[in-house]
């Protein structure tokens, strides 16, 4: 009896001693992502969509939803980290790059976030990503489109969305297709009828680069850019700019504007009866619910580039399910802004699962190696895979764009129809732009 007790006691001591030598894995209960968006100011409408998209993605990731065919809906948290939940900490940059940088520092130093998501405005993303680079904190960008953001060789910055070079090229491919008779429901248009172009872009990182791209592609595709102007963002009046556009007698007018400027621009074009044959907006303000609600029938015929339209649900059932969830929460369909913020947070989930840790080096390695199938996404992309070499470090190589056109259906409801790419169109294109 004594001998048995002696050996049992010895065994317990050995086990306890061994246990002290074996490291115990302790999973974080939450993973903190700092999210910096414009929640007030001229782009607040887009900011509300961006926030709602990210929040929906986080809810799906944190709570198992068996009816959604996406990996992040199956685990009720980050499975590789013991089911750790994602907590989003939102900050409002107000469209101010300096404020954005300050908020990033506070999120990193005070809130101790594990990573960043944001920031919509390319000018703010530029300063915030520089802070992330300085501190070695991973940042995923889902919605800023200035090409230069992924041309800096940063090691801690990844962008899921296509950028303005891709989107602007799509516009010129659409114009080229019009002249070749490729646009659905439109007879072949003489290139001379759409030769004269004019652009008006806000004077920011994003708008200025878009203006440069319009000039570049005009030359490449053989169009005559008659007028190219930059205006102060959130301008109180655009009358002089519109008079200048009208004087150019352009056939095609191109814009890069956030919500308040986009609404004012269209109102002023209408008031001065400016009549281009094609009117195209570079997403942003041209796709927010407020744009449609404020302007009503006057937007019929306007084109906008985007990465998501409600019509996508006709070819992607998964997008339809997520869109339904989003609409139940917000009263609106997913837009280019909300779909991209959703996809940005979804990418964070995949990266964290692959990393199995919030250690920055592990996250960095996972982001550089990640490949997400297009079947997982609500946006109609081939997938997500980041470039790790060449000119565009951290740029998703598998994204693509759409061009939608505001049209009115038989019931009088106005919505966006896909008119480009030509092989996935959902309606005949309206050409030329209707009279005001």
Summarised one tens digit per residue, pLDDT across range 343-372 is 999 999 999 999 999 999 999 999 999 999
CA distance 407 to 410: 10
**3 state SS for 9-38:** HHHHHHHHHHHHHCCCCCCCCEEEEEEEEC
Which of 203-207, 210-214, 394-398 comes out lowest in average pLDDT?
203-207
Please give the structure tokens belonging to residue 98. Answer: 């300096």
Instruction: Give residues with Cβ within 8 angstroms of 76, minimum separation 6.
Output: 62, 63, 64, 83
- 341 close to 53: Cβ distance less than 8 angstroms: yes
Coil, strand or helix: which one is 141?
strand
pLDDT above 50: residue 19 = no
The mean per-residue pLDDT over the stretch 409-429 comes to: 91
Please give the structure tokens belonging to residue 184. Answer: 């659905």
Note the pLDDT tens digit of each residue in 215-245. 999 999 999 999 999 999 888 999 999 999 9
Report pLDDT for 27.
56
What's the chain's Rg over C-alpha atoms?
Answer: 25
Please give the structure tokens belonging to residue 153. Answer: 């060789």
Helix, strand, coil fractions of the chain, as percent rounded to 5: 45, 20, 35
CA distance 123 to 275: 32
The mean per-residue pLDDT over the stretch 67-96 comes to: 96
Coil, strand or helix: which one is 86?
strand
pLDDT above 50: residue 21 = no
Report pLDDT for 315.
76
CA distance 296 to 303: 15
Report pLDDT for 204.
85
Report pLDDT for 1.
43
Report pLDDT for 76.
95
Report pLDDT for 28.
57
> What domains does the chain contain, in order, with CATH numbers?
31-162+314-385 (3.40.50.2300), 165-306+401-424 (3.40.50.2300)
Widest Cα–Cα separation across the chain: 107
Assign 20 a pLDDT band (cuts: 50, 70, 90). very low
Assign 16 a pLDDT band (cuts: 50, 70, 90). very low
Report pLDDT for 376.
95
Compare 382 and 366 and report the one with higher pLDDT. Answer: 366
61-88: burial string, b at 16+ Cβ within 10 Å, e else: bbeebeebebbbbebebbebbeebbbbb
Note the pLDDT tens digit of each residue in 22-75. 444 455 589 999 999 999 988 898 899 999 999 999 999 999 998 899 999 999
Helix (H) or strand (E) holding 123: helix 122-135
Report pLDDT for 288.
86
The mean per-residue pLDDT over the stretch 423-429 comes to: 91
Assign 436 a pLDDT band (cuts: 50, 70, 90). confident
Note the pLDDT tens digit of each residue in 244-275. 999 999 999 999 998 889 999 999 999 999 99
CA distance 274 to 296: 18
pLDDT above 70: residue 326 = yes
Assign 177 a pLDDT band (cuts: 50, 70, 90). very high
Report pLDDT for 24.
44
Report pLDDT for 206.
84
The share of the chain scoring above pLDDT 70, in percent, equals 94
What is the overall mean pLDDT for the chain? 91
Report pLDDT for 4.
43
- Contacts by residues 188-191 (CB-CB < 8 Å, ≥ 24 positions apart): 189/431, 191/222
- 215 close to 168: Cβ distance less than 8 angstroms: no
């Amino acid at each position: 009896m004594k001998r048995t007790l002696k050996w049992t006691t010895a065994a317990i001591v050995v086990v306890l001693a061994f246990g002290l030598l074996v490291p115990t894995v302790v999973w974080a209960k939450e993973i903190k992502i700092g999210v910096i968006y414009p929640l007030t100011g001229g782009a607040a409408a887009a900011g509300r969509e961006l926030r709602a998209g990210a929040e929906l993605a986080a809810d799906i990731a944190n709570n198992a939803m068996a009816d959604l065919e996406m990996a992040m809906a199956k685990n009720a948290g980050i499975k590789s980290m013991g089911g750790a939940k994602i907590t989003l900490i939102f900050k409002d940059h107000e469209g101010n790059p300096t404020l954005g940088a300050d908020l990033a520092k506070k999120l990193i130093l005070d809130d101790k976030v594990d990573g960043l998501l944001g920031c919509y405005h390319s000018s703010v993303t530029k300063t915030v990503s520089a802070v992330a680079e300085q501190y070695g904190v991973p940042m995923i960008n889902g919605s800023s489109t200035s090409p230069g953001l992924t041309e800096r060789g940063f090691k801690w910055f990844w962008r899921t969305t296509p950028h303005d070079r891709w989107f602007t090229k799509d516009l010129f491919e659409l114009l080229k297709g019009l002249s070749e008779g490729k646009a659905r429901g439109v007879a072949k248009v003489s290139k001379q009828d759409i030769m004269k172009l004019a652009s008006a872009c806000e004077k920011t990182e994003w708008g200025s680069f878009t203006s440069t791209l319009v000039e570049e592609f005009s030359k490449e595709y053989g169009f005559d850019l008659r007028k190219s102007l930059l205006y102060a963002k959130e301008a109180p009046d655009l009358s002089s700019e519109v008079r200048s556009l009208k004087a150019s007698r352009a056939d095609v007018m191109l814009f890069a504007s956030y919500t308040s400027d986009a609404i004012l621009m269209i109102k002023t074009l209408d008031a001065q009866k400016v009549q281009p044959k094609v009117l195209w907006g570079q997403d942003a303000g041209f796709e927010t619910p407020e744009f449609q609600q404020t302007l009503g029938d006057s937007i019929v015929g306007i084109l906008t580039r985007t990465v998501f339209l409600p019509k996508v649900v006709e070819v992607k059932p998964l997008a339809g399910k997520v869109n339904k969830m989003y609409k139940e929460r917000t009263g609106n369909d997913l837009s280019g802004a909300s779909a991209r913020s959703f996809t940005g947070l979804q990418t964070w989930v995949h990266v964290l699962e692959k990393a199995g840790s919030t250690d920055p080096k592990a996250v960095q390695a996972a982001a550089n190696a990640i490949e997400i199938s297009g079947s997982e996404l609500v946006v109609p992309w081939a997938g997500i895979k980041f470039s790790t070499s060449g000119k565009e470090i951290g740029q998703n190589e598998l994204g693509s764009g759409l061009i939608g056109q505001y049209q009115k259906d038989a019931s009088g409801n106005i919505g966006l129809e896909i008119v480009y790419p030509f092989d996935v169109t959902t309606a005949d294109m309206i050409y030329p732009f209707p009279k005001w």
